[in-house]
Amino acid sequence: MEGASFGNENFSVSAAQNMFGMEEDAIEDILNKTSIEKVAINVWTIRLPIVNCSVIETEEGLVLIDVGMKPAGPAILKSIQSISQKKIHTIIYTHGHVDHSYGTWALIENRAKPQIIAHENLPDRFNRYLKLRGSLAKYMSQPIEQLPNDSADLIWPTKIFQDELEIQIGGVNFYLKHFEGETDDQLFVWMPDQEIVFAADYYQGFLPNAGNGKRIQRNVEQWIAALRSMEALDAEIMIPSHGDVIFEKKAVSDALSIHADALEYIHNYTIDALNKGLRKDLIVDEFVMPVKFADHPLLKEQYVTAKDICKMVIRQYTGWWDDIPSHWSPASINKQAVSIVELAGGMDQLINHIKSLSPNDLALASHFIDWAYYADPDNPEVHELVLDIYKKRILDENSKTQEMLVYLDQMTEVRAKM
């Protein structure tokens, strides 16, 4: 709940489990846990479980920056109606992730359709979601029946741009700037007259989600460039898509700078290690985050770790091979597992070994319980040990949210066999 809340005060289990759906429980829970806060003259932030959206009132109508996940649509509409009766003139998608671009349906029903602005890569992202529907459901732990099935299930942008876009709506100037980062279609929004920057997911209030092992490639170098670009704006207010609004120029600058510096350190270390020819697993194993970053309150490891980000950089610049010779054309995992059990002297011996490792070396115990499970996936004693080992790993203070979900998925698979 701490990690998956992404810095927002209220967390909704129902919303997190039904991000693509219109389940009544999720809609109701989000309605009950949403608030709207005035940030500046004619500027508000809607604080939803997990994510923020923003509303700007202009002479021509309202501008929305992001629209939450699908069940958040009604809560956003209710929040908007509590502060203004003007029509929605424009919606800006900062990127195509489900928690930023799926609540539009509730905002356009029986109303004049607004223009929807996004980067030119966003339609390709939506198309990938349609193409990889089952994979997306698996890696996001979402019910597959809720995933969009065809183009009519998505609300597409009506205006796209390539690198940057300057527009004026109702006398208010907006500047949209694209940098790859968490996605290849992400952008931030700058209101120069008000000195407000809407930081999208470039800034997250903790070590950012730049090393997610279940997601498509993330561009750490471009992410750094986005942070530096926003810092150069000298904004008075920064409104991130997750977590608290930051006020005052120095606080905004410091937050953006420390994030850029930390990501730059990870990126440069990894590139240097690759150039030295260091084996990929050793690049990760030998990485140490400097204390000034590791102990910084705005860089807490809660969703992914610095080493996870290191892995993402490696993945960006190299092939799928991990530098272990036998891993190029390996024996099947199941065949390897059976051999490991045989070498251990049988399953009973292996189970005893795992139990002896568990109190002091959970990571190593996890390797062996995987071998045991893949060698004999119907063994009741192995089932119990899988649940025990991965429960301990979830409760380990060193485990972060995305890692925990991997363990939970394995436990769920095993539980279904019991």
pLDDT in tens, 126-163: 999 999 999 999 999 999 999 999 999 999 999 999 99
Distance CA 251, CA 247 (A): 7
E strand spans, 196-276: 196-200, 237-240, 246-247
Q: Which CATH architecture has domain 13-265?
A: 4-Layer Sandwich (3.60)
The pLDDT score that the predictor gives to residue 111 is: 67
- Residues 60/170, Cβ–Cβ less than 8 Å: yes
Q: How far apart are CA 409 and CA 418, in angstroms?
A: 15
- Each residue's pLDDT tens digit, 67-109: 999 999 999 999 999 999 999 999 999 999 999 999 999 998 6
Cross-strand partners of 103: none
Q: How is the beta sheet containing 115-119 ordered, strand by strand?
A: 35-40, 43-47, 52-58, 61-65, 88-92, 115-119, 159-161
pTM higher than 0.85: yes
| 148 CB burial (10 A radius; 0-12, 13-18, 19+) | middle
Q: How far apart are CA 197 and CA 189, in angstroms?
A: 6
Query: How far is the C-alpha of 92 from the C-alpha of 201, rounded, in Å?
Result: 14
Output the average pLDDT for the chain: 96
Stretches where the chain sits below pLDDT 70 are 1-3, 109-112
pLDDT, residue 110, reads 59
Whole-number pLDDT of residue 304 = 93
For the chain, the domains span 13-265, 331-415
